[in-house]
Structure 1
């Protein structure tokens, strides 16, 4: 392998890494904004409906200019998988997460996102999308990394330790941010968050099938957002039909809807649907703990929450796990001596070199 090929490979891997880093930054912003507006009594299914209308409008220009002429590929089978993708990854996962966040706390809720990698890994192994390969060092790295990722997050969330960094008083003074623990419904919130984990892990499995039958990420994301807005509207109207719950104003709720729709939904799902065919369904959720780190930092900076010793321990553990996990993927790539069958089902020619963004999914 020449120098040019090595550089090309590293560029491909860095693009994927930066994409997942951006996803976690978008998620962090959504967490902080949602924490405020949910405390103000925002109706969750109205938020989901408007958010995904914005997401569909945001992605539609890309779908129109880059993927025109694919309407003839729309079939009933495709609409079924789009419906399932919207139900598991957006309506189900986000709805359950918002309700869990409202019934518990932001720190408690976001820890559950770190369970997604292990359940995605289990589901993908059961479905034989990913292979354990426990007889190889790469397989051991991926398996141990996924387990430690969850164990480290749960352990350090329980162990806080002494305060190491405190930025002082909150920069935002809002009475709705003050949490009354007596009004929390921990059992119900935990149940919702567990459901969110299963729903989101299932979505990564659905994406593998969806990208195989319809490998047009902009169009599929736009259609999924449209289906999600319809699902959320129907469910929301069955729960609450009052105008006050669906009314929009020039306030933080509108900013949250625009931000969440354009970045936390449209951009995030486009990036993840681009990465999954290249690295497999286990790769994106392995970055979820980064949002926990970012959220802890910005909560300390904006809301005055202290950063404890437990968070420092978690950061060091996670950095080690993440680089071990990335090493296992890169080692698998280098070890491959023949082209792999890509996620769209096309078989590469035996003499063709393996592209730097070839999928690790067999």
Structure 2
């Protein structure tokens, strides 16, 4: 309803090409990516799957570079900052996930007495799980790349989000009917945490998340959006420490600091992109260089003009001058 009212004047006409892109978007992210990720988590562990999902910024950066959605000139300092910042962000997320270190004693935290849940031995298949999670990350990165391309021809973020969620729900229903045929118990709805998780995932993660990423992507590109993905681990660690009284490890704090440093490098590099390139994509010089060049041109023009006046005065005869 919000998309129909708020974007009725800016929503472009639907074409076959745009509809095909929307179908691919709904197939990449809500359907294939989530199913591959959750299935891969079942074959591995939650910690391992979280660490694997942090390769998303690196994959998105390579794909955006390949499709010329991200300007990279390795000779320029700001491009080097974007590359290094992406790698540092991924490294910080890996540190948060894989390295614990000593416990940081905080007054509001308590010792975790609950045993960590592990999968059954017959369900462990790290190779299959790793391949599924990696394929899911490629689908997730492809979603961001295709979303950036689609927004160029369909610049209505809220309408695009609504169509992606609708098509994703339809495709997910068809896939469930095929895979879970005969299992009617999965369609039963109960007022429990499963229903709350489904509502939160659909409204906040998919609906609101797609819209916000689309708005930012039009201005900054897909690399800028996915660079903040590891920051969610930092937020979860902080909220979990206060609300759930979870223990805070030194490895998480160190990884959070590394992530912030990497994000600063990426943001600085993207801000320099706005200065080095004009809206049409042509390369321009910085402001100080433009000012110096303009001053030099003015001086040169003035000097040439004076020289022409001197030459003219020399060729005028004396009697005519009198």
Q: Is the structural similarity TM-score above 0.5?
A: yes
Which 5+ residue runs of structure 1 have no aligned equivalent?
A: 1-60, 343-362
Q: Deviations over 1:210-245 (max 9, x none)?
A: 111211111111111111111111111111132211
1:290 has 2:228 as partner: no
- Among 246, 251, 257, the residue aligned to 2:187: 246
- Among 141, 154, 175, the residue aligned to 2:81: 141
| Structure 1 residues 178 and 300: alpha-carbon distance in aligned structure 2, compared to 1, 3 A threshold | farther
Tell me the equivalent position of 1:270. 211
Residue 179 of structure 1: how far off its partner (Å): 3.0
- Give the root-mean-square deviation of aligned CA atoms: 2.5
Q: Deviations over 1:54-95 (max 9, x none)?
A: xxxxxxx21111123678712221111001111112211122
1:179 has 2:142 as partner: no
TM-score by length of 2: 0.78
| Structure 1 residues 165 and 264: alpha-carbon distance in aligned structure 2, compared to 1, 3 A threshold | farther
| Structure 1 residues 141 and 70: alpha-carbon distance in aligned structure 2, compared to 1, 3 A threshold | closer
The count of corresponding residues between Structure 1 and Structure 2 is: 278
Which 5+ residue runs of structure 2 have no aligned equivalent?
A: 283-322
Larger radius of gyration: 2
1:323 has 2:264 as partner: yes
* SS state at 1:74 partner: coil
Paired residues of 1:300 and 1:306 also in contact (CA < 8 A)? yes
Residue 206 of structure 1: how far off its partner (Å): 0.5
Paired residues of 2:92 and 2:257 also in contact (CA < 8 A)? no
Paired residues of 1:170 and 1:303 also in contact (CA < 8 A)? no
Paired residues of 1:170 and 1:302 also in contact (CA < 8 A)? no
Tell me the equivalent position of 1:53. none
| Structure 1 residues 212 and 184: alpha-carbon distance in aligned structure 2, compared to 1, 3 A threshold | same
Residue 150 of structure 1: how far off its partner (Å): 1.9
TM-score by length of 1: 0.70
- Matching of residues 197-216 of structure 1 within 5 Å: 197-216=137-156
1:256 has 2:172 as partner: no
1:231 has 2:171 as partner: yes
